[in-house]
Amino acid sequence: MSAIQPPPERVWWRQPLDRMEVTWILVALVWCLVMFFMMPYWHLVGKQNLANEAYRTTPEAYLKKAQEVVDKFTVRTETDMKIPVVHPPEGSDVYLTARLWTWWPILELETGKSYRLHLMSLDWLHGFSLQPENINIEVHPGYDHVLTVTPTRPGVYSIVCNEYCGINHHTMSSRLYVK
């Protein structure tokens, strides 16, 4: 039987399964199940697959909270666009906003302290990729994505957008300071 021509027997699904076909279906099924159970396993053992929460919200509500934090904890501004650098206290909620084609504001965190990091897009899908750490999070419009983060090493980290988001996608980068 070829996939290009229609099957000679119209009711082909009543034919018995070939042994070879059954074998491959089982191989694929077992592999799917292995991968499925690897996800929780990697979360618990490999420290992959972040434990995050997501809440439905609106751009206005999210931006209002982000603006409050920026107003309170901005320590300086950077780049030509005068992006505020926010240095929040330990344990506080910090907001990072993605929009065409910027990250706002710039965050400055401290080693060994925990923060509630909120991520949201104001327009459409972006991707939060933290370099050189292997952290990737999809940033959705309409969802406040919350992660508890504790930086372990000081340095200047790069944030790049890793979901193609339009003509200036390649310029959508920022940084994250860890003191």
List residues near Cu ion by CB under 5 A: 126, 161, 165, 172
Give the nearer residue to Cu ion in terms of CB position, either 172 or 176. Answer: 172
Give the span between the Cα atoms of 32 and 172, in whole angstroms.
Answer: 35
Q: How far is the CB of 146 from Cu ion (least distance, A)?
A: 20
Give the nearer residue to Cu ion in terms of CB position, either 69 or 140. Answer: 140
Question: 161, exposed or middle or buried, with CB in 10 Å at 0-12, 13-18, 19+?
Answer: buried
Give the nearer residue to Cu ion in terms of CB position, either 118 or 126. Answer: 126
Gyration radius (Cα) of the chain, Å: 23
Give the nearer residue to Cu ion in terms of CB position, either 73 or 99. Answer: 99
The Cβ of residue 14 has, within 10 Å, a number of other Cβ atoms equal to: 6
Q: How far is the CB of 162 from Cu ion (least distance, A)?
A: 8
Q: How far is the CB of 145 from Cu ion (least distance, A)?
A: 14
Q: How far is the CB of 48 from Cu ion (least distance, A)?
A: 23
> Are 111 and 134 contacting, i.e. CB atoms less than 8 angstroms apart?
no
